[in-house]
Each structure stands twice: as C-alpha cells, then as structure tokens.
Amino acid sequence: MDWLLAPIDAARDHEVAGAVAWHARLMVLAWGILAPLAVLVARFFKVMPGQDWPRELDNQTWWKAHWMGQGAVVVLTFCALAMVMPPNLSEISLHTGLGAGLILLLALQVALGLARGSKGGPGAPAPDGSLRGHHYDMTPWRLIFEAAHKTIGYGALALAMVVILTGLWKANGPVWMWLVLGLWWSGLIFVFMGLQRRGMAVDTYQAIWGPDPAHPGNRRPAQGWGMRRIAPEQGQGETECSE
C-alpha cells in the first residue's frame, strides 16, 4: 500500500493545488474515459446487438451516444481549462504546449462537425424533395470531412494520452494512478481489437442506408480502414471487409 500511494518519482513531492487537481480530474474524465468510449461506440455500434441489419437500418443510438459523449468532452475540457487560466508564463512546460495542441484539435473537430453538410437520403430528403445530400451522395466535401474527422479524432486520442501522462509526471502522481490508467487504456485496446475481429465495425453508409447499389455511396469503397460492408452485387447474404 505504501508503494501504491508513493509518488512515481521518490525525489519529488506530490503536491497539487485545489484548482490544478480539479483540472487534472476533469481532463482525465474527459479525455481518458469519455472520449475513447465515444469513439468505440461510433466505430462498433452503428449496428446495435440484436438489430436485424441490413433489414433494420439507421439505428441512431450510436450517433446520440457519440455526440453526447463528445459534447461532454468539450464542456469538461473548457471547464478544466478555466481552472488554470490565466497561465503562469514562467511555468510553461511540455505538458502545457501539448495541451494547447489538444485544445486546437478539439476546436477543429467541433468546427468540422458543425460544417459536415447535409444528410439526404430517404429519411432526410432535401427541401426540394430530392434525396440529394452531402452524406447520401458522398460528395467531395463529405469525403474530406470523413477523412479529416477520423484522422483528427484518433490523433487527438493519442495526443490526449501523452498530455495526461505528462501532466501526471509534472504533478508527480502516485503509483496507483499510473497503474489504473495503464490498465484502463490496455482494456480499451483489448476491447477494440475484440470488436474489430467480430466484424462490428460496420460501414457508416451501409449502416444507414443498406447495401442496395441504387444508393450512390455504395458505388464507392468503404470509408476508413477495416470497415465491414456487404458487397452490393452479393445481395444480403455475404459480407466483406474493406481495408
């Protein structure tokens, strides 16, 4: 127990002021817990367990969980940021610089999300009554958005891990904190790999509209690596993975 409670660096004390301590707690909750869970839901639960896909389409449980989870990340992040503002310019560190980069990526993700374009398709027709929409038609902007959103999202998660660890080192956190974070992140990676092997990463387009080749997005390869989709020419029976 003494070893678990001891700071990771025995040569330094573990002393963190109240506001800084709450900054750390909120950021760990936001980026160490909620953000990766929201990503897991978005990747692997576009088709929910028990859903008769592709006969039952466009289950939006994943979408609501994803945006609510990431919305909470935004709120918690800026609450945590307010607790350490204004910054002490004489104590700018690697943690501070990387944290600023993370905030920039977060702001970029929010801007991309707001500018992702229209949905379209049978469930969300355009004002003129047509099925046209950035997502349904997989327009160039939608392709750019999906590539940027996924790349920045995974990049932000990786950067967040580094930011949390550098902050924990700066605060000289006790051993148990390092162990808990290590076990939690290892568990998330294990779950990610297991769900990927089970084929639960269903292509977003087909999760919403199905594999019918009449839908324009089905004439393009799946967006993203390792996504499961039904080849339109195979009908409803067989599946394939697109890397």
Is the bond into 86 cis (omega within 30 degrees of 0)?
yes
Contacts of 123 (CB under 8 A, 6+ apart): 58, 208
Residues 6+ positions from 204 with CB-CB distance below 8 Å:
46, 146, 223, 227
pLDDT in tens, 59-75: 999 999 999 999 999 99
131-157 mean pLDDT? 96
How many domains does one find in the chain? 1
- Angstrom distance (rounded) from CA 102 to CA 157: 9
161 pLDDT above the threshold of 60: yes
Q: Tell whether the model's pLDDT for residue 182 goes beyond 80.
A: yes
Cα–Cα distance, 21 to 83 (Å, whole number): 9
Residue 12: inside a domain, yes or no? no
What sign does the CA torsion over 17, 19, 20, 22 have? positive
CB 232 within 8 A of CB 212: yes
Instruction: Give me the DSSP letters along 57-100.
Output: ---THHHHHHHHHHHHHHHHHHHHHHTT-S--GGG--HHHHHHH
Q: What DSSP character marks residue 28?
A: I
> Which residues form the domain of 238?
2-6+17-242
- Rounded-to-integer distance, Cα 148 and Cα 66, Å: 17
Tell me the C-alpha distance between 11 and 35, whole Å: 33
Q: Which amino acid is at 149?
A: H
Q: ω before 122 within 30° of 0 (cis)?
A: no
**CATH number of the domain to which 209 belongs:** 1.20.120
Cβ distance 236 to 211 under 8 Å? yes
Q: How far apart are CA 23 and CA 4, in angstroms?
A: 22
In a domain, 11, yes or no: no
Among the listed residues 137, 138, 120, the one whose alpha carbon sits nearest the alpha carbon of residue 129? 120
User: Is 148 part of a structural domain of the chain?
Assistant: yes
In the prediction, which pLDDT does 123 show? 87
In a domain, 58, yes or no: yes
pLDDT tens-digit series, residues 199-239 = 999 999 999 999 999 999 998 888 888 999 887 654 443 34
Compute the average pLDDT of residues 123-145: 94
- What pTM does this model have? 0.89
Q: CA-to-CA distance for 72 and 38, rounded, in angstroms?
A: 10
Task: Tell whether the model's pLDDT for residue 99 goes beyond 80.
Answer: yes
